[in-house]
Every structure is written in C-alpha cells, then in structure tokens.
Structure 1
Amino acid sequence: MAVQGVDHINICTADLDQCKAFYCGILGLEEGWRPPFGSPGAWLYGGGSPLVHVSLTDEARNGESAVDHIAFAVKGYDEMRGKFDALGMEVDAYDVPDTPAKQLFVTDPDGVSVELNFSDGT
C-alpha cells in the first residue's frame, strides 16, 4: 500500500448553507454530485474532484480538533485578497521567504483555519 495523496477533507457544520457559501461563494469551489448517504451534506468540487465534504451536525464544533489548518493550492492572489477585504474578513497574509510564493490565512464559518497557497505569487 502506498498513499497517493489527500482525497478530501470533511467539515462538520451546524449551518450547511453558510458553510457552502464560504467554500463555494468565496473560495470558488462548486457543489456537485454526492452519493445518497441518507444524511444531509454536500460535496464541494475543485479541479473536477470532490475536495471538501460537508456533513451537517446538530452542534457547531468551532474548529476544535487536532488538525491545525487545511490548505489549498490556488491562483488569483489579488482577486482573492480583494474579495476577503470587500467582505470585511480578517486575513493574515505572508510572503514565503526565498520564494515567489504568497499565502493567505482565513477562518471559515465553522472556525476552521484555511490556508491559500499562491505558489507563483499571483
């Protein structure tokens, strides 16, 4: 057996619409096909793959787990930074030393820290 890569992440939320609004409306993922599991949720796609699975829970968990953050490889630094600023979202921005890369860190509605990596700085 050999690990091939990360298949998906799962976010537990008490507000499915708010969670989808963040990942789709702000980050640009798209809601797509999801097997009929019998419980509410959504699969959010990027690059043709269901990267974020969202599960509806009775109570908000507020990002509390052993996982520190999730990260996405993205393009469009200025556009994304402008979107966060227009929404009044708190953003931590970093230049990665000795590389052209830039990073933005935001928090999703469920308290999960989200890192956006712009490998070429754009």
Structure 2
Amino acid sequence: MMEYLNIHHVSIAVRDLTRAKQFYSEVLQLQELTRPPFQSKGAWYAIGDQQLHLIECPDGEALREGPINSQDSHFAVWVKSYRDTIAWLEQAGIPYEARPESVAGFSQIYILDVDHHIIEFDAAYHS
C-alpha cells in the first residue's frame, strides 16, 4: 500500500502567463520559485511546503464564467487570519464570497483568479 505524505503541488492552466503571474506574484504576493526549463511556459509558487504550478495554455477553458460555485474545481489555502484576509482582499479590490461560519468547521473565503479558477482561503473561526 502507498503511504501518502501530503500534496506536493497543484497545477492549473492559465491563458496568459504574464497576466497570471501579475495576479499571483503582485496581487496575491506568492513567492515565485525557480522552475525547470520545460518546453512549456509556466511559473511555480510556494505555498507553505506545497507548490502551485501555472502552465500557459492559451486555448484553455475554465469550467465557469459566472459566479463562484464552491462545488466546482478549486484549490484551498489555509490562512492565519480570516479578518486580515478579508481586509486585504478589500484593499486590493478583489471580489470575494465569504462564509465566516461555514458548516465545514472553519471560515471560508472564495475568489476567482484572472482565468476564473476558484481559490478558497480557509481560517479558524473568528481569527
């Protein structure tokens, strides 16, 4: 039987790498990592001990064009403070959907990136 340790990375397709990097590097302020010289264009980011990989795919299609639907594909990042994250998103002008008392057992905040990928930020209740 395999022994699972953790998720190493999540990869998502982006239509325009320059635009996506501006969002993830400058808006979300993730730390960019050195990426091997693959034939494809992309960027790697650190999120704690895990990674987010962006791969440029100009013809890629997200499954959504409308409002955030948490039942659709998404990735989640645990954040230190729900209140600080809300304040930061508001200051950055990023629309979000907040669920401060989620039945999940922790607070949830959902946003869309520039390619309409859903990103979930999770935090302890009342943090």
Is 1:18 aligned to 2:23, yes or no?
no
Q: Which amino acid aligns with 2:57?
A: T
Structure 1 residue runs of 5 or longer lacking an equivalent are: none
Distance 1:68 1:103, change over 3 A: same
Task: State the Cα deviation string for residues 55-82 of structure 1 (Å, max 9, x = none).
Answer: 0112242246x96211111113233212
Could you list the structure 1 runs, at least 4 aligned residues long, displaced by more than 4 angstroms after superposition.
Answer: none
| Paired position in structure 2 for 1:35 | 36
Q: Counterpart of 1:20 in 2: which secondary structure?
A: helix
Offset, 1:120:
4.9
Q: In the alignment, is the contact (CA less than 8 A) between 1:69 and 1:114 conserved in 2?
A: yes
CA-atom RMSD, angstroms?
Answer: 2.4
Is 1:81 aligned to 2:86, yes or no?
yes
Aligned length in residues:
119
Structure 2 residue runs of 5 or longer lacking an equivalent are: 65-70
The percentage of aligned residue pairs carrying the same residue is 27
List aligned pairs for 1:42-121, cutoff 5 A: 42-47=43-48, 49-63=49-63, 68-94=73-99, 95-97=101-103, 99=105, 101-121=106-126
Q: In the alignment, is the contact (CA less than 8 A) between 2:110 and 2:118 conserved in 1?
A: yes
Distance 1:79 1:52, change over 3 A: same
Offset, 1:118:
0.8
| Paired position in structure 1 for 2:67 | none
Offset, 1:115:
0.7
Distance 1:35 1:50, change over 3 A: farther
**TM norm structure 1:** 0.80
